Amino acid sequence: MKDVFKERIFSIPEGKYKELLVILSNRRTIDTAISRYELAVRLKMSDRDVRELITRARKSRFPIVINHNEGGYYLTDSIDEIETFRNRELHSRIGDLKATDEGMCGAIEYLKGNNPEQISIDEVI
């Protein structure tokens, strides 16, 4: 099977981002998934920084998925696994963020109705 990510990873400048992708390029199946804790130890980074690198990689079209059952991340080339990840992880977060935003909008409207002296930044501009 052709490694569709090897050339892209090779072209990335040296650094923690590339290190992460090199590690994950050797973790390509559920059975070889690596925990975020282990990534943090190997990269000598905080958990938060590892999460940010994973997010950056995903935004750059590297399909890093997580298997909660096995407790780890891996770089997949399976469209089915990417779709499953999107449906299970991303769509639920999008819905939750939308509900949170609607709650905040409702709070603004409530405050405007109960304290007319408060105005939004949009009303000032």
Q: DSSP string covering 23-44, please?
A: HHHT--SGGG-B-HHHHHHHHT
Domain that holds residue 100: 78-125
Q: pLDDT by residue (tens digit) across 12-50?
A: 999 999 999 999 998 988 888 999 999 999 999 999 999
pLDDT of residue 1: 44
- Clarify whether residues 91 and 44 are in a common domain: no
- Clarify whether residues 67 and 30 are in a common domain: yes
E strand intervals along the chain: 64-67, 72-75
Instruction: Look up the pTM and report it.
Output: 0.76
Residues 6+ apart with CB under 8 A from 34: 23, 24, 27, 72, 73, 74
- Clarify whether residues 34 and 52 are in a common domain: yes
* CATH number reported for the structural domain that contains residue 19 in this entry: 1.10.10.10
- Clarify whether residues 95 and 57 are in a common domain: no
- Clarify whether residues 3 and 60 are in a common domain: yes
- Clarify whether residues 64 and 53 are in a common domain: yes
- Clarify whether residues 92 and 112 are in a common domain: yes
Percent residues over pLDDT 70 in the chain? 90
- Clarify whether residues 57 and 3 are in a common domain: yes
Task: State in Å, rounded, how far the first CA of the chain is from the last one.
Answer: 57
Number of domains composing the chain: 2
Residue 80 CA to residue 88 CA, distance in Å, equals 12
Residue 83 CA to residue 89 CA, distance in Å, equals 10
- Clarify whether residues 39 and 98 are in a common domain: no
- Clarify whether residues 53 and 95 are in a common domain: no
- Clarify whether residues 41 and 93 are in a common domain: no
Residue 9 CA to residue 17 CA, distance in Å, equals 10
